[in-house]
Amino acid sequence: MEDQARKVFTAFGCREIRVPILEKTDLFARGIGEATDIVEKEMYTFRDRGDECLTLRPEATASIIRAYLEHHLHASDPVAKLYTIGPMFRRERPQKGRYRQFHQIDVEILGHEDPRIDAEVILMLLHFLRSVGLDSPHLEVNSLGCPGCRPAYRTSVQNFLAGKEGDLCEDCRRRLDTNPLRVFDCKIASCREIITQAPRISDFLCKDCTDHFAQLLSSLAIFDIAYTINIRMVRGLDYYTRTAFEITTEFLGAQNAVAGGGRYDGLIRDLGGPDIPGIGFAVGFERLLALTAEAPDNNPTRPPDLFIAALGEPAEQLAYRLCNNLRLQGRQVEMDYQSRGLKSQMKRADKLKCRRVLIIGDREIEAQHAEMRDMTTGGQVRISLGDLSSWENMLV
């Protein structure tokens, strides 16, 4: 799956970046938002021996932008297409497809504000998901507005929720003043029922945000990408603006998103850098693997080209040398290291689904030839032990 991710993202011009598992806690508090579930409840945070507050990364976007700024990648070219693959950490209740140490593919496209880039990112994500066997991924999109139009929407939601505090869960009540839009991301049934009548963000979008969203949808149509506009969808992090999207599936219950992302045009500026726009997404490996486990294996384990069955210590020494010489030439070769009998070694070769077995014993060493058995047909041919090049045609 990682190999396929690298193949697809490279075709779209992305480069791999590796960022630390540990970062300063302040990076996530500033980047993700202090009133989010991640910062308030889920981060693994501790103080080191120097009394510096550190956190195991709960997501990758803030780390990538920190590296992008710290190493001045924007100085040579503000446009950067980056991806990273690795573990993330969140202290939450484990469930199907959700773990406290989990793995993500994270892609960030920095320096473009054109809505066609948003559609291109979604196209790339869907292409990757289908290429690894995810059937019928469903795209949900929404616009979250910008700092110019969202404050009015935020006030409208606060006014709508006023007087309904008693029906909200504890977390949503706590966030009414600091982050009221988080109620849209709550999975509690009573909260979800309330928001069905809440104001719509689409009614508050400014002209620029309305035009941006319309151009995104028209760009998706170019590639015949089906989508649903989910007016209640917000992303779980504070830095998102305008485009937000999720890829969902019907097989994961309430936590049905296998990937999600969006635009964050102010985040780089908020982290101390220039005003450079960005958009990205993250794919959860564990969820994706759970959904594609029954799919046809697009990259099955390759059987060895050859198994060498050696009988006796001199034969084992010869087999050891031959085995590794062939590996140095690019061949996948296996042998037995337990001095077992021929029958046991043949069973091992059969279990590895190896078609060719080279059988070497004392007589074969003396005669400088060995028997090459075809495990499919049962036939054997005699070959010279002194000329490895003569084996090439047999090991196809």
Indicate the pairing of strand 53-56 with strand 45-47: antiparallel
Structure-model confidence comparison of residues 81 and 300, the more confident one: 81
Domain count, the chain: 2
Cα atoms found within 13 Å of the Cα of residue 114, Cβ hemisphere only:
7
Q: What is the DSSP letter of 295?
A: S
> What is the rounded distance in angstroms from the CA atom of residue 223 to the CA atom of residue 368?
63
Give the range of the structural domain holding residue 12, as residue numbers without chain letter.
2-149+205-292
Same domain, 232 and 327: no
Range of weakest confidence among 88-97, 274-283, 363-372: 88-97
Q: Are 267 and 64 in contact (CB under 8 A)?
A: no
Q: Residue 186: what pLDDT?
A: 80
pLDDT for the residue 154: 87
The pTM of the full predicted model, rounded to 2 decimals, is: 0.79
φ and ψ of 82, to 5 deg: -125, 150
Domain finish residue from 235, 263, 292: 292
pLDDT above 70: residue 393: no
Instruction: Give me the chain's average pLDDT, please.
Output: 87
Closest to 177 (Cα-Cα) out of 153, 200, 149, 154: 154
Contact between 134 and 292 (Cβ < 8 Å):
yes
At 36 the pLDDT is: 63
274 shares its domain with 216: yes
* Nearest alpha carbon to residue 224 among 93, 359, 127: 127
How distant, in Å, are the alpha carbons of 126, 141, 249, 258, 287 from that of 138?
9, 10, 6, 10, 15
> Does pLDDT of 212 surpass 90?
yes
d(CA 165, CA 181): 14
Residue 183 belongs to a domain: no
Report residue 249: phi and psi, to 5°: -145, 155
For residue 236, pLDDT beyond 60: no
Helix (H) or strand (E) holding 218: helix 207-222
Look at residue 138 and tell me if it is in a domain: yes
The pLDDT of residue 367 is: 87
Same structural domain, 231 and 365: no
Instruction: Give the pLDDT confidence score for residue 177 in this predicted structure.
Output: 78
Mean pLDDT of 83-107: 86
The whole-number average pLDDT for the span 96-109 is 87
Do 270 and 320 belong together in one domain?
no
Question: Is 360's pLDDT higher than 70?
Answer: yes
Q: How far apart are the first and last CA of the chain?
A: 26
b/e map of 295-307 (b: 16 or more CB within 10 Å)?
eeeeeeeebbbbb
DSSP for residue 113: -
Same domain, 124 and 233: yes
Section 266-270 average pLDDT: 89
The pLDDT of 51-71, averaged and rounded, is 93
Same-domain check for residues 260 and 315: no
Greatest Cα pair distance, the chain, in angstroms, is 95
Residue 112 lies in a domain: yes
Please indicate, yes or no, if residue 196 is contained in any of the structural domains: no
Mean pLDDT of 255-279: 89
Task: Enter the tokens of residue 88.
Answer: 């993330």
Asked if residue 167 belongs to a domain, the reply is: no
For residues 372 and 383, give the distance between their C-alpha atoms in angstroms, rounded to a whole number: 7
Does residue 197 fall inside a structural domain? no
Q: Which of 292, 316, 332 is the last residue of a domain?
A: 292
> 123 and 33, same structural domain?
yes
214 and 87 belong to one structural domain: yes
Q: Over 90: is that where the pLDDT of 20 sits?
A: yes
Proportion of the chain above pLDDT 90, given as a percent: 52
Task: Record the tokens describing residue 115, joined without a space.
Answer: 């809505």
Residue 217, pLDDT above cutoff 70 = yes
Whether residues 234 and 332 share a domain: the answer is no
284-317, pLDDT tens digit by residue? 988 888 888 654 455 557 899 999 999 999 999 9
- Tell me the CATH number at 350: 3.40.50.800
Residues 245 and 330 placed together within one structural domain of the fold: no
Q: What is the CATH number of the domain that holds 122?
A: 3.30.930.10
Confidence (pLDDT) at 301: 73
Residue 23 falls inside a structural domain: yes
By the 8 A CB rule, do 115 and 243 touch? yes
Choosing from 292, 321, 350, the residue where a domain stops is 292
269 shares a domain with 130: yes
Q: How confident is the model at residue 150 (pLDDT cuts 50, 70, 90)?
A: confident
In a domain, 6, yes or no: yes
- Are residues 321 and 285 located together in one domain of the fold? no
| Predicted pLDDT of residue 239 | 75
